Amino acid sequence: MARGGYREGAGRKKEYTEPVKKILLGLPKSVLDELDQYAKERQLSRPKAVAELLKIAQEKNPELNLRSMVVKELRDLQKEIRITQS
């Protein structure tokens, strides 16, 4: 019997249909505790809980453009880091 190599259908299945980008996210412990509780109650991982909460926020407020908000926050953070490193 051959071992190793490519096998159709083998490996971890993709959770999303689009590319996934990993990020580092710092949260206060109290917020993280709430997030963990939310995830536990719904049997979700932390990343899936965050994605679900963002989706809910956007559904409640459709004019909320999360992508542009996140990009703006990241740019502001990048400026702050550059200032503190100078």
pLDDT recorded at residue 32? 93
Question: Are residues 42 and 49 in contact, defined by beta-carbon separation less than 8 angstroms?
Answer: yes
- 35: closest CA among 51, 23, 57, 14? 51
pLDDT recorded at residue 43? 96
Task: State both tokens at 76.
Answer: 């502001």
Q: Which position has the higher pLDDT, 40 or 73?
A: 40
Task: Give CA–CA dist 45/8, Å, rounded.
Answer: 27
Q: Which position has the higher pLDDT, 52 or 85?
A: 52
Residue type, 53: L
pLDDT of 13-68, one tens digit each?
Answer: 887 788 888 888 888 899 999 999 999 999 999 999 998 988 888 787 777 676 77
Residue type, 79: K
Question: Are residues 53 and 38 in contact, defined by beta-carbon separation less than 8 angstroms?
Answer: yes
Task: Give CA–CA dist 62/59, Å, rounded.
Answer: 5
